[in-house]
Amino acid sequence: MWRHHLKLNFVVFIWSFTAILGQWITLPRFELVFLRTFFAGIILLVIWKGLEGRDGRCRRWPRRFWRLYFNGAIVGFHWVLFFAAAKMNASVLLAGLATTTLWTALLEPLLTSARWKRSEIALGAIITVALLQISRAEADHLVPLLLGVASAIAAAIFAILNGQWARGEDAIGVTILEMAGASSACFISLLVLSAFDGNLPQFALTPMDWVWMAILVIFCTAYAYVAYVKLLEYLSVFTINLAANFEPVYGMILAAVLLGEADDLSLGFYLGSGMILICVLVHTWMMKRDARQRS
């Protein structure tokens, strides 16, 4: 069991690099997400077909084919918002993204049979105050903050639906469908945008862009998402969400070290971010307490 926990934390740490790579890759957001999901889907499809018959299993598409494809479009929307904010300021993005767990708690009763919890609504109110604090202190960074919050909402919806639809399915098959849904949504968006503004999509990559894109596609997407779906078979959604809470923490540290954003942000930003992270930790503690009471 410890191997699964170690793998989970490794996946979360890999995900925390995504915002950094989003700043380093020079492509616009829609083109970036399209190439990321398209290449990841192709790589996984080749692996999936290559494994067919070798392990004595017949590879079949997941039963919830179109639902998972639709959920891929949602995660594609999440990534577009994510990279749009990351290209402005990764640390401010991650402050907004840190609300994902609490958005999950607030939205889950609307999408499943889960019940509302007053404590989680109270934490949501505190986080709203924290976001207002950040927006007042960082008026110049209001757009990446709002994009980060919108990205967190999309990520929460994706996680809730994935917990309902992906469990028990082939991990690689699920990820291929979701990458296909994400890339299709981005491609259609590119066509619509091109029709409106008359500009063709920009897919020119520099040599270093190819390096960062390869890391993003292979490690942060193909490997990380297959590992995440496989871990649903061994660990509870509670345990996975518990570890995922620390992605923004890792990301903020990496942004300060690798992007040098720490000196560009005010005390108000750190106070608001601290409030959000404290709420995340309190929510983590409440989840642990509730799990002990049920056992």
Distance CA 2, CA 9 (A): 11
Give domain limits for the chain: 18-294
Look up residue 293 and give its two tokens: 């009471």
Question: Each residue's pLDDT tens digit in the chain (295 positions)?
Answer: 668 878 888 998 898 889 899 889 999 888 999 999 999 999 998 888 776 656 555 567 888 889 999 999 999 999 999 998 888 888 888 888 878 877 887 888 888 877 777 777 777 778 777 777 776 666 677 888 889 999 999 988 998 898 888 877 888 889 999 999 999 999 888 888 887 777 778 888 999 999 999 999 999 999 998 888 888 777 766 567 667 767 777 887 788 788 776 666 677 777 877 887 787 777 667 767 776 776 6
Look up residue 77 and give its two tokens: 């929307």
Distance CA 229, CA 221 (A): 12
Distance CA 246, CA 9 (A): 9
